[in-house]
Structure 1
Amino acid sequence: MSTHPMSQPLSHPALSVADPELAALVGAEEQLQADTLRLIPSENYVSAAVLEATGTVLQNKYSEGYAGRRYYEGQQNIDLVETLAVERAKAVFGVEHANVQPYSGSPANLAAYLAFAEPGDTVLGMALPMGGHLTHGWGVSATGRWFRGVQYGVRPGSALIDFDEVRDLARKERPKIIFCGGTAVPRTIDFAAFGEIAREVGAVLVADIAHIAGLVAGGAHPSPVPHADVISTTTHKTLRGPRGAMLMSRASHAKAVDKAVFPGLQGGPHNHTTAAIAVALREAAAPSFRDYAHAVVANAKALAEALLARGYDLVSGGTDNHLVLIDLTSKDVPGKVAAKALDRAGIVVNYNTVPFDPRKPFDPSGIRIGTPSLTSRGLGTDRMPLVAEWIDRSVQAAAKGDEDALAVIRGEVAELLAGYPAPGLATD
């Protein structure tokens, strides 16, 4: 394990006294995050400032309503905190309206349904097995049960979005809402093409940028602002904020969006999360964040190239963003087996379906990896061939059941990461 002084667990004196058992678990997780290579594309490290904001006395306040229009007194400071977060969101993303109250990405998407559709209305979204999200109308989600979900997919071979299919479905089904974005989309999202289709059929276009919000903020991915009516995003992932969400929109949709979030779906906002969102947005406005966003993409491209050189099949042949989706069919190792072996090697990924996957979702053919976390630690493109080598060796070890080989890799991973302390885990 790492012995680097900047990677030691943080001190939690009050928690250690009040609940030693839980304090020990938190410490163990801190050590795990310090010593493992975290490649799950939806995870990241927040700064110490974001961590501090989530633990402030803002936790103690109830603040139903919006700034200047609360149902509780004593909101003098809370109103300023929320306004700060809203104004920073508007500035970072260049939007006319922002709501920072959604608790997470799924409630944010539900608010879009509540604002612009009625139960039973048709919605068009990317199919989950093709890279979409549960809340884009997939059957097992409430959005697929309460609304009529119609799904578009990708082209066989290229694994790129089939815009002929999107247009044909939109013309035929006349959806009230079209969702674009997803959870396993390794290529640039063509917001302009979606916007054109949505306008043609009179649909509201919701761009779900939860995965790429930090890339958009940092100029490493095109913005949906000129094309989408509503933008939904989480505030963690590539944006490096707390576990929260935002809904942004044109001014003409502000009232509908706000009413859908509160009182439509939620009660009082989580003020400590709002404060941490404000901090993260301040960080995202700095020039260094722009460098970070571009480095995330550069690392992902370098990692993809190194994997291709080792004979791995990548969905769509590579990546334009932070995410790489690997089809392990040719390696004769199921995704779940590979993911668990990688975890034992100190490399954290998630098993994932690939387009047209013949295997079941809980035992799929692929793994999903990404570069936000390792980039936050300062690893650059020069380290990506080594990361690809570790992945390759781990997959081979999984195929052979070679636990000793996985243990060797885990030691190598911890040794390297000792020189790259993680943000938010550093101590004086």
Structure 2
Amino acid sequence: MPLDHPALNAADPDLAALVGAEERLQADTLRLIPSENYVSAAVLEATGTVLTNKYSEGYPGRRYYEGQQNIDPVELLAIDRAKALFGTEHANVQPYSGSPANLAAYLAFAEPGDTVMGMALPMGGHLTHGWGVSATGKWFRGVQYGVRRDTGRIDFDEVRELALKERPKLIFCGGTAVPRTIDFAAFGEIAREAGAVLVADVAHIAGLIAGGAHPSPVPHADVISTTTHKTLRGPRGAMLLATKADTGKLIDKAVFPGLQGGPHNHTTAAIAVALREAAQPSFRAYAAQVVANAKALAEALAERGFDLVSGGTDNHLILMDLTPKDVPGKIAAKALDRAGIVVNYNTVPYDPRKPFDPSGVRIGTPSLTSRGLGTEHMPAVADWIDRGVTAAASGDETALKAIRAEVAELMAAYPAPGLAE
């Protein structure tokens, strides 16, 4: 059921109509984009508070504006909760999003022109890990590692050889399309041997780490960068965590005044709420269920003949190569969208197609798990995907409409958090 927005309806009915349409879309579709989720009503409320009215350049106790009597405690709540949840010495909750958070790591530990190392974007990495079209690849000398053709997994002998040859200032591990457990210990050992700072970008798996469903990078990485949405189920923001206080000081200086001005206090408040929610026993159950659902979905898709990169998943994410299905990823994704199944087209390792028209699709289970779906529902989800991809190949719009009706019926039985009030 759409939420009530009386002031917005009165002030701007056009925008209110669009918000209402998005609420209905999020309510009656099956959202499988692995970087999306549903926040709680409490997180939504915190994001919309009067804290958005306040400017707060600086850090708690060291601001450039007066009137911080309530703002400082809000940020300190978020900081303390982040440190406790992830077990770090330092936390900065001010980055506006994941990319600026990663940029702060560059500013703190490297100079323009320095060599940096990360997973190649087509292999599952992120733009800000030194890829050429990103500022990080233009201002720094980026070298990339990938995955093996035969396994779809990282070859750590190759990573070590590259790191010792190139001697990067920074090594990034993590990415946007990595369906397997990240071996932080192996990356940490390589970084120490190469004399590099290891940055663990856990944006996708932060909630799984917090919930005990994925190993933590804390004993191995110098810096941990993460968004606060995705599996963590917070607002669209970011954090930088450090395992040592001295490293934290460098990070703070890089974030402010290095990259940005005043923090978004309403977002900081919502991050604090999300971190409190993530510290509850129910969140550990959620994180475990996300992984269980992903594994069950991967198994059901494999049984239907889908080619899964690396053969499956260890986390929340599944990457599929649709080449054997004889349909490009973009065409499949758009057809599935018409069927009420929201995915994104994505490159696969060694993809012969162009990035804007790739061979694969990327799916994940955070959102459907937040709605209460379990492993018993995954065969039906796999069947819808299978039927949708088949319909995409043949142009069968009638089949897509039928799937959409079935999806809407199931979604009505599992209301979305934040939209069910």
Aligned to 1:286: 280
- Within 5 A, what are the aligned runs for 1:5-44? 8-44=1-37
Following the alignment from structure 2 to structure 1, what is the Cα–Cα distance between the partners of residues 336 and 248? Answer: 45
Aligned to 2:151: 158
Cα displacement (A) at 1:34: 0.1
Following the alignment from structure 1 to structure 2, what is the Cα–Cα distance between the partners of residues 381 and 66? Answer: 44
- 1:263 paired with 2:252, answer no
The Cα offsets for residues 185-224 of structure 1, whole Å up to 9 and x where unpaired, read as: 0000000000000000110000000000000000000000
TM-score (normalised: structure 2): 1.00
- 1:254 paired with 2:245, answer no
- 1:362 paired with 2:356, answer yes
Q: Which amino acid aligns with 2:87?
A: G
Q: Which amino acid aligns with 2:99?
A: S
2:240 aligned counterpart, secondary structure? strand
- 1:62 paired with 2:55, answer yes
Following the alignment from structure 2 to structure 1, what is the Cα–Cα distance between the partners of residues 376 and 179? Answer: 21
Aligned to 2:87: 94
- Structure 1 portions without partners, runs of 5+: 1-7
Aligned to 1:340: 334
Cα displacement (A) at 1:164: 1.2
Cα displacement (A) at 1:423: 0.2
1:275 aligned counterpart, secondary structure? helix
Q: Which amino acid aligns with 2:132?
A: G
- Within 5 A, what are the aligned runs for 1:249-398? 249=242, 250-398=244-392
Following the alignment from structure 1 to structure 2, what is the Cα–Cα distance between the partners of residues 314 and 34? Answer: 28
Aligned to 2:187: 194
Aligned to 1:141: 134
The alignment covers a number of residue pairs equal to: 420
Aligned to 1:421: 415
Aligned to 1:227: 220
Following the alignment from structure 1 to structure 2, what is the Cα–Cα distance between the partners of residues 46 and 162? Answer: 36
2:18 aligned counterpart, secondary structure? helix
Cα displacement (A) at 1:157: 1.2
TM-score (normalised: structure 1): 0.98
Q: CA RMSD in A?
A: 0.4
Following the alignment from structure 1 to structure 2, what is the Cα–Cα distance between the partners of residues 255 and 45? Answer: 33
Give the counterpart of 1:118 among 96, 99, 111: 111
Following the alignment from structure 2 to structure 1, what is the Cα–Cα distance between the partners of residues 80 and 69? Answer: 17
1:418 aligned counterpart, secondary structure? helix
Following the alignment from structure 1 to structure 2, what is the Cα–Cα distance between the partners of residues 20 and 157? Answer: 54
- 1:177 paired with 2:170, answer yes
- 1:71 paired with 2:64, answer yes
Q: Which amino acid aligns with 2:29?
A: T
2:70 aligned counterpart, secondary structure? helix
- 1:48 paired with 2:38, answer no
Most deviating of 157-166 and 64-73: 157-166
Q: Which amino acid aligns with 1:144?
A: G
Cα displacement (A) at 1:252: 2.2
2:413 aligned counterpart, secondary structure? coil
- Structure 2 portions without partners, runs of 5+: none
1:206 aligned counterpart, secondary structure? strand
Give the counterpart of 1:218 among 211, 216, 232: 211
